[in-house]
Amino acid sequence: MGNTDERSTREFFEKNGYAVFRGAIPQHEIDHLLGEKIKGDLVDYDGKLERDSGVWEFHKFSRLASGQYYLVNSLSNAHLITKSSELYNFRAAVRRVYFHSAVADCLQILDGETHHICNGGAVFFNSPASEPHIDAWHTNTSPWGHAKTVWIPLEDLGPETGSPFAVPWPLGRLLSAADLGIELPPITPDAAWDEWFPIAYRRYQQALHRLLLSSSAPVASAMLRRGDVMIWSTLTPHGSLPPFGERRTRFSMMANFRPASMNWGRFIFMAGEPPFGPEPRREVRITDAFSLGLNPDQSWEE
C-alpha cells in the first residue's frame, strides 16, 4: 500500500464496505464518452424487444406515487440486443473507461490486487431507483466478498438526481438465507433457474429489507462530481435514491469486477450444496467482458 491516504481509504472500505475516490477518471475520458460522435450512436428505438417473459413487446411503463416511471417488462439479456456493429463508438468509449488504469488503481488500493476481471456493466441515463440489494446475486468470488461494483458519475450529481447509496457494511460480511431467518425454495439439478431465481431473490430481498429496517441501518451517499469513482463490495447492501420532482438525467455507469486471482463464487449456494457440488476450482470461460449473469448451466470447473 502506497501512502497514508490510500491506507485510510482501504481501512474505511474494510469497515464500511464502500469507498469514494474523488476525481479519479480523467475529464477528457468523460468528454470523449459524452462527445457528439458517441451521442450519434444513440438513437431512439421504438420497436419490440425480447422481455424476460420471452415475449417480444414494446416498453411498458408504470407510474409510481412519486411520479416516477419504471419499466414493467424488463429486457432479456439487454447486453446481447445490439449487434456488434451497432453502438460501435459508444461501446468503445464505455470500455475505455471501464478498463482505464485509473479504475485499476482504485481497485488495487482497496484490495492490493494488480489484475481484475470485468464481469459486466451498465450505463444509466436516469436513476433506476433500485431498492437496497446486494450485487453478490450476480457477481461474487470464492472465498466470498472480493468482487466489487465500480460506479462512475458522468455528470455532477446531487441527491436530487437519484444518487446511489450504500449501507455501511463490514467487508466480507455475508448474509446467508439462514442469517436472515428465511428458507429459499430448494433447487435441484433439474430445477429451472429462471423459475427459481425470481422467487428466491424476492424472498431474500424482503428479508434483507426487514433486517435493515429493524436494525435502523444508516445509509450513506455523497455529492458526486463527474469522474469520481464510488466502489462497493458486492456483499454491501446499496441502492439508489429516487430523483426529486420531474424526471431528469443521471448519466452514470457501473461495472462489476473481481480480482483475477480469485475464482467465481456462487452466493447463496454454500460450498458442497447441491446442485453444484464442491466450490468451483477455476473459472473456465470469460467469453465477453460484457456478458452478464451467473448461470448454473455454465461450466465452472476445469
Ligand X SMILES: O=C(O)CCC(=O)C(=O)O
- Strand locations in 116-251, DSSP E? 116-124, 141-142, 148-153, 164-166, 229-233, 238-240
Q: Which of residues 251-290 bind ligand X (CB under 6 A)?
A: 252, 254
How far is residue 133 from each of residues 55, 86, 136, 240, measured CA to CA in Å?
A: 27, 32, 9, 10
8 Å CB contact between 165 and 219: yes
68 counts as binding ligand X under rule CB under 6 A: no
Residue type, 135: D
**Residues 102-141 close enough to bind ligand X by CB under 6 A:** 124, 127-128, 130, 135
DSSP 79-97: GGSS-TTTTHHHHHHHHHH
Angle between helices 101-111 and 4-16 in degrees, nearest 10? 70
CB of 164 to ligand X, least distance (A): 4
> Which runs of E-coded beta strand occur in 86-218?
116-124, 141-142, 148-153, 164-166
Judged by beta carbon, residue 148 or residue 266, the one nearer ligand X is 148
Work out how close the CB of 266 gets to ligand X at its nearest, in angstroms, rounded to a whole number: 18
Q: Which is nearer to ligand X, 128 or 265 (CB)?
A: 128
Nearer to ligand X, 56 or 99 (CB): 99
- The residue sitting closest to ligand X, measured at its beta carbon, is 240
In this structure, what C-alpha cell is assigned to residue 128?
433506476
Nearer to ligand X (CB atom), residue 238 or residue 266: 238
Query: What's the helix, strand, coil split of the chain in %, to 5?
Result: 25, 20, 55
> Cα torsion for 26, 259, 256, 192, to the nearest 10°?
170
- Select from 161, 163, 153 the least CA-distant residue to 252: 153
Min. distance of Cβ 4 from ligand X in angstroms?
A: 30
In the complex, least distance from residue 107 CB atom to ligand X, rounded to whole angstroms: 16
Q: How far is the CB of 169 from ligand X (least distance, A)?
A: 14
Give min distance, CB of 74 to ligand X, in A: 14
Number of residues counted as binding ligand X (CB under 6 A): 12
Give 93 or 230: the residue with its C-beta nearer to ligand X: 230
Subset of residues 229 to 258 that bind ligand X, contact rule: CB under 6 A: 238-240, 252, 254
Query: Quick one: which of 9, 68, 142, 149 contacts ligand X (CB under 6 A)?
Result: 149
Place of cell 452514470: 252
The least CB distance from residue 254 to ligand X, in Å, is: 4
CB nearer to ligand X: pick between 142 and 256: 256
Do 224 and 20 contact (CB within 8 A), yes or no? yes
Instruction: State the minimum distance, in angstroms, from the CB of residue 224 to ligand X.
Output: 11
Among 17, 153, 164, 243, binds ligand X (CB under 6 A): 164
- Kindly tell me which of 187 and 239 has the beta carbon lying closer to ligand X: 239
Quick check: 147 and 26 in contact, CB under 8 A? no
Q: Which is nearer to ligand X, 132 or 265 (CB)?
A: 132
Binding site for ligand X (CB under 6 A): 124, 127-128, 130, 135, 149, 164, 238-240, 252, 254
